[in-house]
Amino acid sequence: MAFSGGHRGAILIKSMPENIKGEQEMNQRISMKKFNPKVYAAVSTMQQYVDQCGLEPLLLELIKLRASQINGCAYCLDMHTKDARAVGETEQRLYTLSAWRETPFFTERERAALAFTEAITLVNVDHVPDDVYAQAHAQFSDTELVDLAMAVATINTWNRLAITFRAEPGHYQPTDRVKLRGAAATQK
């Protein structure tokens, strides 16, 4: 076991078993999609809403990545790093996302969304502080703010399911749907 610290505190992490080469072994426990397709469909419906809500595709990918970093979801980090690249995100911003406060690479709107994402993801720490909420509300309309909260709730749901059932990272490839969403956003 090891301790992992973020900007809000340390948490205890149990290590995965290692194979003969010293690499972590990753074995998916079960396929949620295979054994309970209704649950998968329910969360997919949430995701479809988020994808079509009107928030910028790059912003949505940043939210997904930041929550996945906090939650330690390797599968979602693999997926959304690839999706972010597919919709035009830069390597520089991907590399510095975990330290977004320390860089000039993110807009005020993105900064507000990232702070809001962290507060919702770590809701047990500060219960979304008023200053974080006010910062987000200054950048997003009431409808957008609800959509933003839904986006964060949705990725947190995916993270928890992927971690629980040990979805194996490394095999995901962006779909044409993701690429089209990014192309449509750059034409606006």
- pLDDT tens-digit series, residues 139-160: 999 999 999 999 999 999 999 9
CATH of the domain at 179: 1.20.1290.10
Residue 184: predicted pLDDT: 58
Confidence class of residue 63 from pLDDT cuts 50, 70 and 90? very high
Confidence class of residue 1 from pLDDT cuts 50, 70 and 90? very low
The answer to whether residue 26 is domain-embedded is no
Residue 22: predicted pLDDT: 58
Which range of residues forms the domain containing residue 106?
Answer: 32-187
The answer to whether residue 25 is domain-embedded is no
Count Cβ atoms within 10 A of the Cβ of residue 169 and give its class: 0-12 exposed, 13-18 middle, 19 or more buried. Answer: middle
Please say if the pLDDT value at position 33 is more than 80. Answer: no
C-alpha–C-alpha distance, residues 91 and 104, integer Å: 14
Please say if the pLDDT value at position 10 is more than 50. Answer: no
The answer to whether residue 19 is domain-embedded is no
- The label of the residue with tokens 């995701």 reads 47
The answer to whether residue 169 is domain-embedded is yes
Higher pLDDT, 25 or 162: 162
Find all residues with CB under 8 Å of 86, minimum gap 6, and list them. Answer: 174, 178, 179, 182
Mean pLDDT over the full length of the chain: 85
The answer to whether residue 73 is domain-embedded is yes
Mean pLDDT of 58-67: 97
The answer to whether residue 17 is domain-embedded is no
The answer to whether residue 78 is domain-embedded is yes
The answer to whether residue 21 is domain-embedded is no
- The domain tally of the chain equals 1
